[in-house]
């Protein structure tokens, strides 16, 4: 089995796919003319609130990646830290959530790991990763007739966003089976060794699979579980079984808040880390809190698929079907480990350079992985939060908070 380094995250919502229009909207932020008004809006927001009077304004997509933010809100963990909160705002695309964050409409968001690179180095908006939101939590789901990655040759597969761990891991899997990634118009003829990638909103993926307009998709939960429970598709590979305990979405805060409101930033991080600790031990309750039948109706998803993702940790059935290649890793389908390992960020940078994406990715040229690991991530707050919550062991983390990345395609 081929071993190599890799990265990144991702996730999406009922409509969190990145369309061409969304991509152009995000790209517009990179120009000074477009970014300046948004940055000024951020200045106004910073001046309007002083110190810890600034309320926590969450922006999220309704996927399991947002769990820590929503649990922290639902269980009033922010208030327990002495913070004020507003009702979380649900967004339908990554473009929308980035725009809202840059303009100051929201100040605490979860974002795809690679997208944080784009925001900081592509659009040059000063923001940093302060913690991971979760690990694993994604999968490659295919038609029931597909039995191996090789069977995807000559087919179309959907991804939620170009800058995502989904795209990176999928392309690694395809390359390992000597399949070439292309982007072709719907209905275009494909060679047997080609796989056409299309960006699609996760909410459309299950129906697209059911109609066989695509052969599969790789995306965050609970959309893989939704295909399983509906009987229209099956898991071919879990993302965490390719890259051990990989990050997906991360908690992203404006650098201004980190510098000018360090106590506020610490309390926000405390609440999010405490939410992760609670979620690890209260999986069914977490699913109920996130579900459409929950008190806050944070997501449109029913309890069954959310429970399948959050509460089912026995992989025996998947192992019997040969889906789990690395049972010795003893992973959960999704888990919550908040520490942002530098080794992971470094591999993310290397992986993105080698991954096919649409749009201008020149900002990646010349980025030094070790520099990015120091510059993109601020782990001061999460270190304190983890220590206060019981230490690394409480989250299944190594005591020295160091690790070596393990990727097995």
Contact in structure between 59 and 101 (CB atoms under 8 Å): yes
- Tokens, residue 316: 């025996």
- Total-model pTM: 0.88
Each residue's pLDDT tens digit in the chain (409 positions)?
333 332 223 333 333 444 445 555 555 544 433 343 344 344 444 444 455 689 999 999 999 999 999 999 999 999 999 999 999 999 988 888 999 999 999 999 999 999 999 999 999 999 999 999 999 999 999 999 999 999 999 999 999 889 999 999 999 999 999 999 999 987 789 999 999 999 988 889 999 999 999 999 999 999 999 999 999 999 999 999 999 999 999 999 999 999 999 999 999 999 999 999 999 999 999 999 999 999 999 999 999 999 999 997 667 889 888 899 999 998 899 999 999 999 999 999 999 999 999 888 899 988 999 999 999 999 999 999 999 999 999 999 999 999 999 999 9
Domains, the chain, ordered by start: 31-135+246-301+333-407 (3.40.190.10), 138-244 (3.40.190.10)
């Amino acid at each position: 089995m081929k071993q190599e380094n890799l990265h990144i995250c991702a996730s999406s919502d009922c409509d969190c796919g990145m369309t061409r229009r969304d991509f152009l909207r995000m790209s517009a932020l990179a120009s000074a003319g477009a970014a300046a008004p948004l940055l000024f809006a951020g200045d106004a927001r910073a001046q309007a609130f002083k110190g810890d009077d600034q309320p926590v304004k969450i922006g999220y997509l309704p996927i399991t990646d947002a769990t820590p933010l929503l649990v922290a809100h639902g269980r009033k963990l922010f208030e327990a830290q002495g913070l004020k909160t507003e009702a979380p705002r649900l967004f339908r695309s990554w473009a929308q959530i980035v725009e809202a964050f840059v303009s100051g409409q929201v100040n605490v968001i979860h974002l795809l790991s690679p997208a944080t690179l784009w925001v900081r180095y592509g659009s040059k908006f000063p923001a940093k990763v302060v913690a991971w939101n979760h690990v694993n939590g994604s999968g490659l789901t295919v038609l029931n007739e597909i039995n191996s990655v090789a069977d995807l040759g000559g087919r179309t597969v959907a991804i939620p966003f170009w800058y995502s761990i989904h795209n990176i891991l999928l392309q690694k899997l395809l390359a390992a089976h000597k399949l070439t990634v292309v982007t072709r118009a719907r209905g275009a003829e494909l060679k047997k060794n080609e796989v056409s990638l299309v960006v699609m909103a996760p909410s459309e993926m299950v129906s697209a699979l059911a109609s066989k307009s695509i052969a599969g998709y790789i995306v965050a939960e609970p959309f893989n579980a939704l295909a399983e429970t509906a009987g229209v598709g099956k898991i071919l590979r879990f993302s965490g079984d390719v890259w051990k305990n990989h990050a997906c979405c991360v908690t992203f805060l404006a650098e201004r808040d980190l510098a000018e409101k360090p106590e506020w930033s610490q309390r926000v991080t405390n609440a999010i880390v405490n939410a992760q600790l609670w979620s690890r031990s209260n999986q069914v309750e977490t699913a109920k809190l996130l579900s459409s039948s929950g008190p806050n109706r944070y997501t449109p998803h029913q309890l069954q698929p959310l429970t399948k993702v959050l509460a089912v940790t026995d992989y025996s059935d998947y192992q019997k079907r040969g889906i789990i290649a690395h049972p010795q890793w003893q992973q959960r389908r999704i888990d919550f480990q908040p520490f942002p390992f530098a080794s992971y960020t470094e591999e993310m940078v290397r992986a993105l350079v080698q991954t096919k994406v649409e749009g201008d990715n020149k900002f990646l040229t010349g980025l030094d992985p070790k520099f990015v690991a120091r510059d993109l991530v601020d782990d001061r707050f999460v270190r304190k939060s983890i220590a206060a919550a019981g230490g690394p062991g409480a989250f299944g983390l190594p005591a020295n908070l160091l690790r070596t990345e393990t990727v097995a395609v």
